[in-house]
Amino acid sequence: MALLNSTHTRSQAAKSLELIAFEGQSASDVLAQVEFENPSDTSLFKAIVLGCCRYFERLDALTHSLLKKKFKPKDQDLLCLLIAGLYQLEYSRVPDHAAISETVDACRMLKKDWATKLINGVLRTYLRQKEPLNQKLDNDWETKFSFPVWLINRIKPHYKGQVEEILTQSNQQAPMSLRVNLMKISRDDFCVGLDEVGLGYRKHPLVDSAVVLEQAVPVHSIPGFDEGHCSVQDVAAQLAARLLSPEEGQKVLDACAAPGGKTAHLLEQSKNTLVLDAVDIDPQRCARIQENMERLELGADIHAENALSFMQGKSSEYDAILLDVPCSATGVVRRHPDIKLLRRDEDIDELVQVQQQLLVAAWDALKPGGKLLYATCSILFEENCAQIDKFMSNTHNVTLLELPSKMQKISQTDIGCQILPGSEEMDGFYYALLQKNS
């Protein structure tokens, strides 16, 4: 990968945003392909791209208010550049004069010198008309919260009186949360190391392995990270191992396991005694699971395979199953704002079908008396409590187990536990713990 210099920051941000917004590539894949000579330029580049994803609906509407005519399809990179310029003026700490001049210069980097006056004029017009333009955008939920209308319409019926808070929280920057490897070090001792290097933190009250940092830092600067004393993982995701809580020596399946955070937590919690199959369809993501296992000195059998295919012929084989199904990821928009651009309304019904198939297959693979934890990082009713309610109606040998009282208090549903984005500093997650009757 060739390292770029700072003169490419805005032009590269425009190119990357075009790949995400108009070609459907994920932000993580796009951002992984770009690096600058100066780490601060890389940070700025990523902040601009992700910020533009976060506020794309609003900024796109703003460009249409400011432009006399739309850009041609071959000039969508200029539209993305203009959106990047508006993002800097409205949401970043970049001084206005620098944001404008650097964005104009980026036109030349894109080999479109003819657009320099246009970009300059539009950005300066925005600064002059900022207040009335923003007031108009605030009149519509889609542009006020920068969320696609289809997603707002799916959220509204099930969270009456909470929709604005959900959308607001989903637009916040998520904190960096750590999972302490209690097999190697206590949380208190780990926090002593944080104190010694001056990293601010909070011990999370809901999960005894969780520490929330006051600000994000490079992972290798965290004391003990390279030695496997901790991993980066949202607090809500850390609930999975606690809820399933398999006994030492049991045979466990982690279906759809990548990147392996929950796999590792299950093993850490059981002192690395589980016979654990970790399955994921993507070989590259399976390689990440293996990397995590090696750093943490844990052992799992990793299978690069379709989970449905893997579970066929494994009737009553597992004592416990973690079924973290493919989902809309609408609960983690604050970490992955490109979800707003990539997900479509028609995706949801397809995902629900896949989830149903995985549930049925996993249930067959579970031993009588065993436990299955159904999990999503979604806040959508169809993928969560409605999915479990339907499964229980069609399954005779299932009991929905009661969750800890702390989780019941924050849950937004009576069927399992629905956590909303930002609740107790967590991502949006859903859990339902099922037991197979003997």
pLDDT at 169: 98
- pLDDT tens digits, one per residue of 374-392: 999 999 999 999 999 999 9
Domain boundary among 121, 143, 165: 143
CA-to-CA dists, residue 104 to 63, 81, 108, 114, 252, angstroms: 15, 9, 8, 11, 56
pLDDT at 2: 78
pLDDT at position 241: 98
Query: Any known ligand binding at 283?
Result: no
The pLDDT score that the predictor gives to residue 294 is: 97
Domain end point (choices 122, 143, 164): 143
- Mind listing the pLDDT tens digit for each residue in 308-333? 999 999 999 999 999 999 999 999 99
As annotated, the active-site residues are 377
Is pLDDT at 418 greater than 90 in this prediction?
Answer: yes
Specify the pLDDT at position 316: 97
Closest CA to 240 of 344, 323, 302: 323
pLDDT band at 216 (very low <50, low <70, confident <90, very high): very high
CA 142 to each of CA 137, 150, 259, 337: distance values in angstroms, whole numbers, following the listed order: 9, 9, 32, 15
> Residue 1 pLDDT > 80, yes or no?
no
222 and 98 within one domain = no
Does 396 score more than 90 pLDDT?
yes
Q: Beta strands 230-232 and 177-180: pairing type?
A: antiparallel
132: domain CATH number is: 1.10.940.10
Q: Is 107 annotated as a binding residue?
A: no
> Per the domain annotation, does 1 fall within a domain?
no
**Angstrom distance (rounded) from CA 320 to CA 42:** 42
Domain residue limits at 336 = 236-436
pLDDT tens-digit map of 93-120: 999 999 999 999 999 999 999 999 999 9
> Token pair for residue 278?
């970790």
At 435, which amino acid appears?
Q
Same domain (yes/no): 254, 357: yes
Note whether residue 337 is domain-resident.
yes
What pLDDT band is residue 438 in, cutting at 50, 70 and 90? Answer: confident
The reply to whether 324 sits in an annotated binding site is yes
Q: What pTM, to 2 d.p., does this model score? A: 0.96
Q: Same domain, yes or no, for 99 and 196?
A: no
- Average pLDDT value over all residues in the chain: 97
Does 155 map to a domain? no
* CB atoms inside a 10 Å sphere around CB 211: 22
Task: Say if 159 falls within a structural domain.
Answer: no
CATH of the domain at 377: 3.40.50.150
In the predicted model, is pLDDT for residue 51 greater than 90? yes
Helix, coil or strand: residue 47: helix
- 395-to-389, 390, 435 alpha-carbon distances in Å: 10, 9, 11
What is the three-class DSSP state of 341?
helix
Q: Is there a binding annotation on residue 319?
A: no
